[in-house]
Amino acid sequence: MTISPVYSGRPDTLREPVEQRVYELLDALHIPYQRVDHEPAYDMDACAGISEALGITICKNLLLTPRNRSAFYLLAMPADLPFRTADFSKKIGSSRLSFASPEDLQALLGVQPGSASVLGLMNDTEHRVTLALERRVAEAEWFGCHPCRNTSSLRLKTTDLLHVFLPHIGVEPIIVDL
């Protein structure tokens, strides 16, 4: 995979509207971030080189829902941690969860499959998605994710995410130990 150098801040060229809105909000909130551009990264294997370039670990982001779609959970967890649906469901007191559909990703977070991101919660204006952060992600110094498009990746301080970004969009995460 070809990865650009690490840049500070937004790209010079116009991007897809969903990605552009991420940069505009981060800049408006005075949240500094570093960015790399790359080929589409659809899975965590593709993110390994990206993580290395940014000096962090891009976290795994999963949009989950019970069969009746009565609730939605965006789980951000360490990339190397195996995901067990039953364990997470038990931790949050939910019936068995499965992956949300591509249509749900688009409707709730404004993203396509492979681009799920905590930053996409800015598009969930009805607050239908509950954010669950695995404790190691919540306590890490740096947070890595896509800016709602899987052709760029960002590194920002986790404290900026938790204490500036999420409060601004009205999201209070739950912290889970997996």
| Per-residue pLDDT at 47 | 77
Q: Looking at residues 58-78, what average pLDDT do you find?
A: 95
Q: Looking at residues 59-69, what average pLDDT do you find?
A: 94
One-letter amino acid for residue 96 of the chain: R
Q: Which of 153, 115, 109, 116 is nearest to 11 (CA)?
A: 153
Phi–psi pair at 156, nearest 5 degrees: -140, 160
| Radius of gyration for the chain, computed over Cα atoms and rounded to the nearest angstrom | 15
What 3 state SS string does 11-39 have?
CCCCCCHHHHHHHHHHHHCCCCCEEEEEC
Q: Looking at residues 35-55, what average pLDDT do you find?
A: 85
Q: Round the average pLDDT of the chain to a whole number and report it.
A: 94
Q: With bands split at pLDDT 50, 70 and 90, how would you rate the model's confidence at 92? A: very high
Q: Looking at residues 57-69, what average pLDDT do you find?
A: 93
Q: With bands split at pLDDT 50, 70 and 90, how would you rate the model's confidence at 42? A: confident
* CATH topology (fold) of 7-176: YbaK protein (3.90.960)
Q: Looking at residues 96-107, what average pLDDT do you find?
A: 96
Kind of pairing between the strands at 72-77 and 129-134? parallel
Assess whether pLDDT exceeds 90 at residue 49.
no
Q: What angle do CA 152, 27, 32 make, to 5 degrees?
A: 70
**Where along the chain do its domains lie?**
7-176
| Per-residue pLDDT at 57 | 86
More confident: 109 or 2: 109
Q: Are 46 and 60 in contact (CB under 8 A)?
A: no
Q: What angle do CA 53, 54, 56 make, to 5 degrees?
A: 115
Q: 41-45, 111-115, 153-157: lowest mean pLDDT where?
A: 41-45
